[in-house]
């Protein structure tokens, strides 16, 4: 089987070999032994900086064509086993210069539209599972009424305007971990939840590892219920 980073896999193998490797793996994890319904998240990033997608190793290639080919192989293998996948990290972590696990990431001066090319290709091929939105700030796509610097994961312009509007993605939008430094150092829990839902996120992902709380799920649910009762527009978003 293949091991190592996406970049090393793309260097040492081919999309067909990558498919064969994940075909067997996906079949195993879908088996009665484990019974998973969703496996992993193929990176849709293209590294355009030395750090992009964690030093470039978290992405298959700087070529959007190559990225899409390996992602498609991953998707096909998992679909054959009855598993869903999630593309990450929209709109592209490949031009980042810092790590969103640790803190604020500004791609305003480095991001380019070509980072959307793999998504365009895969959507044109009929992909409609999940897209994971990254905590990536771009001043051109972060309008807010209170002046907050909204990362893509909390930005209606990125999620509704670009992902759902321009790219016509009709699948499920999932956030990257909302406890990562890029979020928790900028927004409190209540603000994070409300902004994510307002932006168009369908699944709010919390690892519950930054400061473990056995009550986190109940706290999140409580915020959602309270906001829904106070705001009919918000209620429609969580019921959609």
Alpha carbon distance 184, 186 (integer Å): 5
Alpha carbon distance 45, 123 (integer Å): 15
Q: 137: buried, middle or exposed (CB in 10 Å: 19+, 13-18, 0-12)? A: buried
Is residue 92 within 8 A of residue 58, CB to CB? The reply is no
Residue 39: active-site member = no
Starting from the edge strand earliest in sequence, which strands make up the sheet with 86-90, in order?
A: 86-90, 130-133, 172-175
Q: Annotated catalytic residue: which of 106, 176, 177, 198?
A: 176
**Cα→Cα distances 149→86, 127, 134, 210, 233, Å:** 25, 30, 14, 22, 23
CA atoms within a 13 Å half-sphere pointing along the CA-CB vector of 41: 20
Q: Annotated catalytic residue: which of 57, 79, 101, 190?
A: 101
Residue 176: active-site member = yes
CA 85 to chain centre: 11
Hey, which residues are catalytic here?
A: 101, 176
């Amino acid at each position: 089987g293949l091991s190592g980073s996406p970049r090393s896999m793309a260097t040492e193998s081919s999309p067909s070999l990558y498919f064969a490797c994940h075909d067997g793996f996906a079949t195993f994890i879908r088996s009665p032994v484990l019974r998973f319904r969703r496996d992993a998240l193929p990176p849709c990033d293209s590294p355009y900086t030395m750090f992009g997608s964690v030093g470039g190793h978290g992405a298959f290639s700087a070529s959007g064509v190559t990225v899409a080919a390996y992602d498609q192989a991953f998707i096909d293998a998992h679909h054959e086993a009855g598993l869903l996948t999630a593309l990450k990290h929209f709109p592209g972590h490949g031009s980042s210069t810092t790590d969103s696990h640790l803190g604020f990431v500004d791609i305003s001066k480095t991001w380019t539209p070509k980072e959307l090319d793999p998504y365009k290709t895969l959507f044109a091929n009929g992909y409609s599972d999940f897209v994971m939105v990254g905590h990536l700030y771009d001043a051109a796509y972060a309008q807010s009424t209170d002046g907050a610097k909204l990362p893509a994961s909390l930005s209606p312009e990125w999620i509704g305007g670009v992902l759902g509007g321009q790219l016509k993605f009709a699948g499920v939008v999932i956030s990257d971990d909302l406890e990562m430094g890029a979020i928790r150092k900028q927004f409190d829990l209540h603000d994070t939840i409300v902004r994510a839902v307002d932006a168009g996120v369908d699944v709010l992902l919390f690892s519950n590892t930054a400061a473990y709380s056995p009550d986190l799920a109940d706290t999140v649910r409580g915020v959602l219920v309270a906001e829904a009762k106070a705001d009919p527009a918000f209620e429609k978003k969580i019921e959609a």
